[in-house]
Homo-oligomer: A and B are copies of this chain.
């Protein structure tokens, strides 16, 4: 790294703290900003500061929001009775982008992982139980990654809710659409045979 400029070095070092950005990429980004109009760098900096200083999390579903309650939770056109439980905001966005779900969400903020020291209390599970106790929720869809940690989390939540009149489902697991059977992993393929569904030509 050039020792000529502390300002440059600091900008490169700061950007290189971001994931998947190394020193060479950071340098390329910084030199790009120096070539462009100053307003571009100011826009990026202001947007970042504005975000981290002013961001709120929805008091109901815990997703990112500009208000105390997010637009999805406030929406009257979405079904209050079905709540899709997701690990994080990116998973929520992924479900939302399918345009297949018109209910509400609940963001856990992670999954139970003893190895990483994440227990149920670090996650938004208590507020989920309280939402269900509120009475309007009829079904929970667990859109959690099918890992050991994910399964543990689903099991834990189901235990917390076992006395309440609610149905819990998980998203279907199986071979992906357009995927070749020979490339599916054995666990997925095995499970998709065990939990086969009746064929209907109208579906």
Interface residues of A (CB under 8 A from B): 1-8, 10-11, 13-15, 17-21, 25, 27-34, 38, 40-55, 58, 63-66, 70-72, 88-90, 92-93, 96
- Which of B10, B17, B71 contacts A4, CB < 8 Å? B71
**CB–CB B8/A19 < 8 A:** no
Copies of this chain present: 2
Give Cα A73 to B170, complex, Å.
66
Q: List 17 A-B residue pairs with CB atoms under 8 Å apart, sorted by A's residue number.
A: A2-B92, A3-B71, A4-B58, A4-B72, A5-B64, A5-B70, A8-B55, A8-B64, A14-B48, A15-B44, A17-B44, A19-B29, A21-B29, A28-B90, A33-B51, A41-B48, A41-B49
Q: Which residue among A4, A13, A17 has the maximum number of chain B CB atoms within 10 Å of its CB?
A: A4
* Dominant SS among interface residues on chain A: helix
Question: Smallest Cβ distance from A7 to chain B, in angstroms?
Answer: 5
CB-CB nearest 5 A-B residue pairs: A45-B45, A14-B47, A41-B52, A11-B51, A11-B47
Give complex CA distance A34, B71 in Å: 20
- Shortest A97–chain B CB gap in Å is 8
A96 & B66 in contact (Cβ 8 Å cutoff): no
Q: Which residues of B contact A53 (CB under 8 A)?
A: 38
